[in-house]
């Protein structure tokens, strides 16, 4: 086997037969050889490092996406650099305009962040592929679910059970900053209610911060002050649905006999709560985003070697699953009258 073949095999390039790749790896293990990524990056322009930009790392959705991205990159022999930009615009600006452009990264995965066209073009100009999760980014490959359609599906589930007094717990204004997720899910709820000829009462719409604790406080206000209590609640996230279930118990309400609750996300605690929900599989979204970034890098390498042009950026809708558990049921007798 030639030196060039061994080098291609250990660097992970595709134009090596499976047998040659295995022979090279076996020999490297026996000799205790570890490839120098610093040296290979000088030769290839690759750093074997992909950046992940998230608004929060302590929230369940983002940490689960992180797990999926990390798993896929580890399997591919790539490092991961995490940028947790939080609520500070200046921190996000410095990440996008400085850190990501130092060419220490081969690609960028942005989660639930809207990038301007200038920001996207700046990254593409230095040949750094971009993959977005959570919404469409012009010129970038994206992975998302159809939030409005799925929110409509969740609300329709309650309507088909016979509920007419359906409340909605949405996200607060701060959470509408980027892809307007709470507003999009609220639009799905309102669309389902309108299609069924049901009124959307202002007192049955409350906001929280997508956490169990925040939703618990908001649900106590909803259930304790409404002129007439709703018989069902569609919460824009599973954590807010869980907070609603806990608040209902404070008022002696049984779920689902007195109050049906449906969430959206597929949180791992959903099964414990018996929660009916839309499962969007954030770990799977993370794995797909990482694989997409690696494929874009492989396309770019093939183009530089004289191959075909890289694929056009694509907007991929990730499949979601509606999971019916025991937090939803027909409304209590005599409670189907529309106000």
Radius of gyration of the chain (CA): 24
Structural domain including 125 reads 43-145+282-308
Name the band, by pLDDT with cuts 50, 70 and 90, for residue 154: very high
Question: Who contacts 38 (Cβ-Cβ below 8 Å, separation ≥6)?
Answer: none
H helices of 98-146, where? Answer: 117-125
pLDDT of residue 64: 96
126 and 219 fall within a common domain: no
The token duo for 227 is 């002129």
Which of 224, 222, 235 lies closest to 169 in space, CA to CA?
235
Does residue 321 lie in a domain region?
Answer: no
Q: How far is CA 76 from the centre of its chain?
A: 21
Does residue 215 lie in a domain region?
Answer: yes
CA pair distance 233, 256, nearest whole angstrom: 11
Give the CA count within 13 Å in the CB-facing half-sphere of 323: 22
30 and 89 fall within a common domain: no
CA pair distance 329, 127, nearest whole angstrom: 53
pTM of the model: 0.81
Name the band, by pLDDT with cuts 50, 70 and 90, for residue 123: confident
Does residue 323 lie in a domain region?
Answer: no
Judged against a pLDDT cut of 70, whether residue 170 lies above it is answered with yes
Does residue 330 lie in a domain region?
Answer: no
pLDDT of residue 228: 86
The token duo for 316 is 């991929």
pLDDT of residue 104: 78
201 and 288 fall within a common domain: no
* pLDDT tens by residue, 92-113: 667 766 666 666 789 989 998 8
Judged against a pLDDT cut of 90, whether residue 80 lies above it is answered with yes
Which of 88, 142, 150, 152 lies closest to 120 in space, CA to CA?
142
Domain ends where: 279, 295, 329? 279
Rounded (10°) CA dihedral 65, 108, 183, 91? 100
Q: How far is CA 148 from the centre of its chain?
A: 15
* pLDDT tens by residue, 7-56: 556 555 556 676 776 776 776 666 655 555 544 444 445 679 999 999 88
DSSP string, 11-30: TT-SSS-HHHHHHHHHHHHH
Burial of 202 (0-12, 13-18, 19+ CB in 10 A): exposed
Does residue 332 lie in a domain region?
Answer: no
188 and 296 fall within a common domain: no
Does residue 318 lie in a domain region?
Answer: no
DSSP string, 39-84: HHHHHHS--SEEEEEES-SSSHHHHHHHHHHHHHHHHTT-EEEEEE
Mean pLDDT of 45-70: 90
66 and 135 fall within a common domain: yes
Judged against a pLDDT cut of 90, whether residue 232 lies above it is answered with yes
Query: 49-74 burial, b for 16+ CB within 10 Å, e for fewer?
Result: bbbbbbbbeebbbbebbbebbbebbe
Residue 151: cis peptide before it, omega within 30 degrees of 0: no
* pLDDT tens by residue, 172-213: 877 666 668 899 999 999 999 999 999 998 999 999 999 999
3-state per-residue secondary structure call for 143-172: EECCHHHHHHHHHHHHHHCCCCCEEEEEEC
* pLDDT tens by residue, 238-267: 999 999 999 999 999 999 999 999 999 999
Does residue 12 lie in a domain region?
Answer: yes
161 and 273 fall within a common domain: yes
Looking at residue 297, which CATH number applies to its domain? 3.40.50.2300
Question: Who contacts 18 (Cβ-Cβ below 8 Å, separation ≥6)?
Answer: none
160 and 247 fall within a common domain: yes
Does residue 336 lie in a domain region?
Answer: no
* pLDDT tens by residue, 284-316: 999 999 999 999 998 877 766 565 655 667 889
Instruction: Give the chain's mean pLDDT.
Output: 84
Domain ends where: 258, 279, 300? 279
Pick 117 or 198 by higher pLDDT. 198
66 and 134 fall within a common domain: yes
pLDDT of residue 301: 75
Judged against a pLDDT cut of 80, whether residue 171 lies above it is answered with yes
Handedness of CA 71, 270, 157, 149 (dihedral sign): negative
Number of domains in the chain: 3
Question: Who contacts 1 (Cβ-Cβ below 8 Å, separation ≥6)?
Answer: 20, 23, 24
153 and 210 fall within a common domain: yes
124 and 31 fall within a common domain: no
Name the band, by pLDDT with cuts 50, 70 and 90, for residue 272: very high
47 and 193 fall within a common domain: no
176 and 267 fall within a common domain: yes
């Amino acid at each position: 086997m030639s030196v060039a073949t061994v080098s291609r095999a250990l660097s992970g390039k595709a134009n090596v037969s499976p047998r040659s790749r295995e022979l090279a790896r076996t020999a490297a293990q026996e000799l205790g050889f570890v490839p120098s990524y610093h040296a290979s990056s000088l030769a290839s322009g690759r750093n074997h490092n992909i950046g992940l930009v998230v608004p929060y790392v302590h929230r369940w959705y983002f940490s689960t996406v992180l797990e999926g991205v990390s798993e896929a990159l580890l399997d591919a022999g790539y490092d991961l650099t995490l940028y947790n930009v939080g609520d500070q615009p200046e921190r996000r600006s410095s990440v996008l305009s400085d850190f990501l452009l130092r060419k220490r990264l081969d690609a960028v995965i942005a989660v639930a962040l809207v990038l301007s066209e200038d920001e996207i073009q700046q990254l593409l100009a230095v040949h750094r592929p971009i993959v977005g999760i959570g919404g469409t980014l012009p010129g970038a490959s994206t992975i998302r679910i159809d939030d409005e359609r799925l929110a409509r599906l969740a609300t329709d589930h309650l309507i088909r059970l016979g509920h007419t007094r359906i409340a909605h717990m949405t996200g607060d204004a701060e959470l509408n900053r980027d892809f307007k997720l709470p507003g999009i899910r609220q639009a799905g709820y309102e669309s389902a209610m309108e299609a069924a000829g049901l009124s959307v009462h202002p007192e049955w719409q409350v906001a929280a911060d997508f956490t169990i604790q925040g939703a618990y406080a908001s649900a106590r206000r909803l259930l304790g002050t409404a002129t007439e209590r709703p018989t069902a609640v569609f919460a824009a996230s599973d954590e807010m649905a869980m907070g609603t279930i806990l608040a209902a118990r404070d008022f002696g309400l049984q779920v689902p006999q007195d109050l049906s609750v449906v969430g959206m996300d597929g949180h791992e605690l959903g099964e414990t709560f018996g929660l009916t929900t839309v499962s969007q599989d954030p770990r799977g979204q993370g794995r797909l985003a990482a694989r997409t970034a690696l494929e874009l890098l492989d396309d770019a390498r093939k183009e530089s070697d004289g191959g075909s042009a890289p694929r056009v950026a694509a907007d991929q809708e990730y499949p979601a699953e509606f999971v019916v558990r025991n937090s939803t049921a027909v409304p209590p007798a005599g409670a189907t009258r529309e106000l």
